[in-house]
Amino acid sequence: MHATLREIRKTPEGIMKAQETFEEFVTRHDFRLPREVVYTGCGSSHFLAKPLAMATTRLGGRGLSVPCSELLYAKENYPIGEPELLVAISRSGETTEAINALESLNTKRFAITAYESTLSRKADYSLIVPAHEESVVMTHSFSAFYFAYLQLLLSSFGEETYDAVFVSELTGEVLKSEDYIREIVDGFDFRNVIFLGSGILYPVALEAMLKMKEMAIFWSEAYQTFEVRHGFKSIADEGTLVVLLVEKPFDWHEKLTKEFQGQGAKVLTVGREDTGADYFIEVPRLSPPGNLFLYTPVIQLLAYYKAVKRGLNPDNPRFLSKVVKW
């Protein structure tokens, strides 16, 4: 079995490891997360920085996400202000840009990583979540990192934390859609794919787009849900799969589904209710910003099975390496 598939299936386990890391952190440190936080990372880790920034903002703080390279070479273009904390995310903890970016602001430094690493050693505080992966691409570690930090964020801001066992079980429920996802990929040989999501689900759409490119070397795009109608939708035709990631759909989602179907495209809705789509994956109820966990395994499986269908090895995608050094 491919390591990638094994690792996607480990999502429930990753959540539990993340909970342990969070609990250990709060026992060991008196430190609580501040309100003004800049988040940074590269690739998937950058797409994880985005929901973390959004979660910070939702909870009443101010979160900003900036890719590491931008923080290093173009930060004057971003509203960085005077943050109380810089959080750098890197699965390996050895990505050159992430290590350098951690030193780019004159503030306290926090690392989220899977290993004791250069990044964690340079940080004042770190969450080391041992969701280790063999695969080049990041899968269950994405959800695990998010969970550990979200718990810390919630507890720092005086909010109730998530029940880890419950969330872990819910991700297990979502993983049961694996056979159905494989059937979709086998039954419809789509030529391109568009991922749509709003709020916290937009970074999930971006991560889905990246997973498709990394694992399946396949053309994919991602937009904030309704933004796609403004020109971008012209590329959708009978060869297109549109993946609509939605928490609770309303009439606009149904109209959007019909609009794409009218262009000949097929729609897969992933959400709590169907939108009249060609394919539907129901996700259990879990309030945002924690609902991200219910979508990530689905989009990872979709990219995995597309890679398999295309006869590729998703564990070792062409031209890519696990750690990007400069």
- What tokens were used for 55? 């979660």
Binding mask 131-150 for ligand F1P (x = CB under 6 A): -----xxx------------
The encoded tokens of residue 226 equal 């309704």
Q: Which stretch binds ligand F1P (CB under 6 A): 85-93, 100-108, 151-159, 179-187?
A: 85-93
**Shortest distance in whole angstroms from residue 97 CB to ligand F1P:** 8
Q: Which one, 40 or 269, has the nearer CB to ligand F1P?
A: 40
Residue 95 in the binding site for ligand F1P (CB under 6 A): yes
Helices and strands in the chain, H and E counts: 12, 10
Answer yes or no whether residue 322 interacts with ligand F1P by CB under 6 A: yes
Identity of the residue numbered 129: V
How large is the greatest C-alpha to C-alpha distance in the chain, in angstroms?
57
Nearest-angstrom CA–CA distance, 80 and 247: 30
Among 3, 16, 312, 323, interactor with ligand F1P by CB under 6 A: 323
Site string (207-236) toward ligand F1P, x via CB under 6 A: -------x----------------------
Q: Does 87 bind ligand F1P (CB under 6 A)?
A: no
- Closest to ligand F1P by CB, 57 or 96: 96
Judge residue 312's burial from the number of C-beta atoms within 10 Å of its C-beta, 0-12 exposed, 13-18 middle, 19 or more buried.
middle
* CB of 56 or CB of 117, closer to ligand F1P: 117
In angstroms, give the least distance from the CB of 230 to ligand F1P.
29
Report the alpha-carbon distance of residue 162 to residue 191 in Å, rounded: 39
* Residue 100 CB-density burial (10 A; 0-12 exposed, 13-18 middle, 19+ buried): middle
Would you count residue 44 as binding ligand F1P (CB under 6 A)? yes
- State how far the Cα of 200 lies from the Cα of 153, in Å rounded to an integer: 15
Binding-site ranges for ligand F1P (CB under 6 A): 42-45, 90-92, 95, 98, 136-138, 214, 320, 322-324
